[in-house]
Amino acid sequence: MEIKGQTMTELPPLTLYLAAPRGFCAGVDRAIKIVELALEKWGAPVYVRHEIVHNKYVVDGLRAKGAVFVEELDDCPLDRPVIFSAHGVPKSVPAAAQAREMLYVDATCPLVSKVHIEAERHHANGLQMVMIGHEGHPETIGTMGQLPDGEVLLVETPEDVAKLDVRDPEKLAFITQTTLSVDDTAGIVAALKARFPAIIGPHKEDICYATTNRQEAVKAIAPKIDALLVIGAPNSSNSQRLVEVGRAKGCAYSQLVQRATEIDWRALAGITSVGITAGASAPEELVNEVIDAFRARYAVTVELVETAKERVEFKVPRVLRETA
Ligand code: 0CJ
Ligand code: F3S
């Protein structure tokens, strides 16, 4: 292009496939609202046990409004409200808060609470539990912590299933983390059913609608693209699973980025298409930031790839509905 004797370099063309659904799920939306409403109702500081959701941008934003993030209940003063994160907590945590007469609000996603209830029901029926989940993840710790120590056996792989030492193979049930890979989990469930034909469980697993839908959308775009960027945090299980799905479905360059500044432009040299999605804890502001960064370097054509519509909404707890 020639403008007033100056040569302008044309931007290279790029098709940007934008996955839908992506980003915030109903449980994350509710958890963030709970912190915001608690700050409005009780003023700052409001304590939050663990990152409310696994996203630095969200956490920093709430911290700026007066939320204080801690890892343990012991780190909270007795006279300020405390909120439990979306991932859920072991039973011992609300029990300790009650014993200390603390004001607490539980922001556990209702779909995680549903799994907690399943575990308790099976336990009450005399079944030993097997949980499919990631060791050390707060959701796994919270769900296993619904039952007495040793009552829930954790498996992460089909190989772990082969090593399980159960009390009675006729009295078993399984539950799962909500943010796992749908395909990997199907393999582990199959291994459980093959080894323990009497095992009881959900219809498929306990993976939530949001995790499932975000993985489906990545499956639809992965074969079309030269690179996939998943906006999300390194400690976000559901976001990490999207990167794995991208790679498994044919997009070798699938990367997690927290925001635009983390994009490795050199690694992207020569691409003509890119896929963008965001984990359930990543805000749309960051998606827009990443798209804008591409627009600054490429002549971008955006193609929305929508594989599902989501209309799920969860109410905040009553104590926070009555005010604000
Ligand atoms: O555990 C959950 C209920 C999902 C919460 C939203 O996502 P995130 O990234 O905070 O948590 P995961 O690490 O579990 O995906
Ligand atoms: Fe809940 Fe699933 Fe989101 S369990 S917090 S709806 S990722």
Domains of the chain: 2-24+209-306 (3.40.1010.20), 26-109 (3.40.50.11270), 111-195 (3.40.1010.20)
DSSP 8-class letter at 8: P
115 C-alpha vs ligand 1 centroid, how far in Å? 14
| Ligand 2 atom at minimal distance to the Cα of residue 139 | 4
Q: Strands 46-49 and 172-176, how do they pair?
A: unpaired
125 is in an annotated binding site: no
251 is in an annotated binding site: no
Residues in the chain predicted with pLDDT less than 70, given as ranges, are 1-8, 323-324
Closest residue by CA, ligand 1 atom 2: 87
| Ligand 1 atom at minimal distance to the Cα of residue 109 | 3
Catalytic pick from 36, 118, 139, 205? 139
203 is in an annotated binding site: no
Instruction: Give the pLDDT confidence score for residue 9 in this predicted structure.
Output: 82
Instruction: Give the pLDDT confidence score for residue 322 in this predicted structure.
Output: 76
| Ligand 2 atom at minimal distance to the Cα of residue 30 | 5
298 C-alpha vs ligand 2 centroid, how far in Å? 34
Q: Left, alpha or beta for 28 (phi > 0: left; psi -120 to 50: alpha)?
A: alpha
Q: How far apart are CA 291 and CA 280, in angstroms?
A: 18
Instruction: Name residues contacting ligand 2 (CB within 6 A).
Output: 25-28, 86, 109, 111-112, 178-179, 208, 210-211, 238, 280
Q: How far apart are CA 30 and CA 106, in angstroms?
A: 11
C-alpha closest to that of 51 among 43, 42, 62, 40: 62
241-275 burial by CB neighbour count: b if 16+ within 10 A, else e? bbbbbbbbbebebbbbbbbbeebeeeebeeeebbb
134 C-alpha vs ligand 2 centroid, how far in Å? 16
Instruction: Name residues contacting ligand 1 (CB within 6 A).
Output: 27-28, 53-54, 86-87, 109, 112, 139, 178-179, 236-239, 279-281
85 C-alpha vs ligand 1 centroid, how far in Å? 9
CA quadruple 62, 63, 66, 71: dihedral, nearest 10: 110
Q: How many CB atoms lie within 10 A of CB 137?
A: 17
Q: How many CB atoms lie within 10 A of CB 167?
A: 13
Q: How far apart are CA 322 and CA 69, in angstroms?
A: 25
The three-state secondary structure class of 3 is strand
Q: How far apart are CA 255 and CA 237, in angstroms?
A: 14
Does residue 151 contact residue 160 with C-beta atoms inside 8 Å? no
Nearest ligand by distance to the CA of 57: 1
Whether residue 151 lies in the annotated active site: no
Q: Phi and psi for 161 in degrees, rounded to 5?
A: -65, -40
Instruction: Give the pLDDT confidence score for residue 2 in this predicted structure.
Output: 47
Q: Pick from 24, 28, 59, 235 the residue to mutate for probing ligand 1's pocket: most ligand atoms within 8 Å of its CB.
A: 28
Instruction: Give the pLDDT confidence score for residue 51 in this predicted structure.
Output: 99
Instruction: Give the pLDDT confidence score for residue 1 in this predicted structure.
Output: 47
Q: Left, alpha or beta for 4 (phi > 0: left; psi -120 to 50: alpha)?
A: left
Nearest ligand by distance to the CA of 52: 1
